[in-house]
Amino acid sequence: MALEMERTLKPEILSVRLIANVHPDMAKSLELLPGEKSLAMFTCNIDDPLYIGGDEATKKAEVRVAYCRSHFAGGSYPSGPLSGEAMLFLAAPNPAEATAGINAVMEFVDSLRYSTVTLPVQLAPTLVWLAYTISRSGTYLSKEAGVAPGTPIAYITAPPLEGHYAMERSLKAADVAVGSFTRLSETNYHGALLYGTQSACRAACRAFDEAVLSVARDPLAFQ
């Protein structure tokens, strides 16, 4: 039976909180900047949506990504039922901007779908990856990729071998460059931020999808 790619896996925000007026000692501990009085906090069952969602929030609200980090061992070994794979903090000057940031993150995560393929029964049941074109980067991912805000970015992530292989194929298929690169994350995933024109980033994402799917279809076909 031929393996077919679907886009059906929906990430879920597990918890969210707004601190309207952060205590000065807490603000110091979190290294908030002067004027950052409010804080929005999120956890998600998958880490990538918080990285992209945090960047999305910087384009729609006066917020800064003060913290975004994947958890060691990932979603299969959480510290609690609401821990998920990552945590995001958005710092804002007031509750209204923090709320706008929350809405931006929630709307983005609700719209995102991962690519999936159901594998033969002798393998793990589902292979999951993400190839997503950010048409105009915000302040957060622009800094991570070393590019100017507003630059198109291809956000690609997959399990380690699939991700490395597919990234190389993406670089050959499209006129994109590597902005940042994660060989292996805390959640055992490969990831990269590639940048170029919007059309080049879309082409890179298509090549990434095709390459990951080729590994899924025949994991041992190296020639």
Residue 124's pLDDT is what?
58
Handedness of CA 77, 17, 40, 50 (dihedral sign): positive
**C-alpha 205, offset from chain centre:** 14
Please give the pLDDT value at position 73.
Answer: 64
Distance of CA 50 to the CA centre of its chain: 6
Residue 3: the pLDDT is: 79
Which of the pair, 17 or 222, is modelled with greater confidence?
Answer: 17
Averaged pLDDT for residues 32-49: 95
* Averaged pLDDT, 31-36: 96
Biggest CA pair distance of the chain: 60
Residue 35 confidence (pLDDT):
97
The pLDDT confidence band at residue 121, using thresholds 50, 70 and 90, is low
Q: What is the pLDDT of residue 51?
A: 97
Q: Distance between CA atoms of 43 and 216, rounded to whole angstroms?
A: 30
Average pLDDT over residues 83-100: 95
Residues present in the chain in total: 223
Query: What is the rounded CA–CA span in Å between residue 169 and residue 215?
Result: 12
Sole residue written with tokens 């917020």: 63
Give the amino acid at 149: P
Fold observed for domain 114-217: Alpha-Beta Plaits (3.30.70)
The whole-number pLDDT of residue 188 equals 81
Same fold, 11-111 and 114-217: yes
pLDDT surpassing 70 at residue 172: yes
pLDDT above 90 (res 22)? yes
What is the rounded distance in angstroms from the CA atom of residue 11 to the CA atom of residue 110?
7
| Top-confidence residue, 91 or 2 | 91
CA 10/CA 46 separation, integer angstroms: 9
Q: Rounded to an integer, what distance in angstroms lies between the CA atom of residue 40 and that of residue 90?
A: 5
Q: pTM (2 decimals)?
A: 0.87
Q: Which fold has domain 11-111?
A: Alpha-Beta Plaits (3.30.70)
Specify burial of residue 58 (Cβ count, 10 A radius: 0-12, 13-18, 19+). buried
Give the pLDDT of residue 1. Answer: 54
What is residue 80's three-state secondary structure?
Answer: coil
Token pair listed for 217: 């279809």
Confidence label for 17 from pLDDT (cuts 50, 70 and 90): very high
pLDDT exceeds cutoff 60 at 193 = yes
For the segment 58-89, what is each residue's pLDDT rounded down to a tens digit?
999 999 999 999 986 666 666 777 888 999 99
Given a cut of 60, is residue 206 above it in pLDDT?
yes
Nearest to 193, CA basis, from 103, 131, 114:
131
Take residue 202 and report the two structure tokens written for it: 């879309």
Mean pLDDT of 161-181: 95
Sketch the domain layout of the chain as residue ranges.
11-111, 114-217
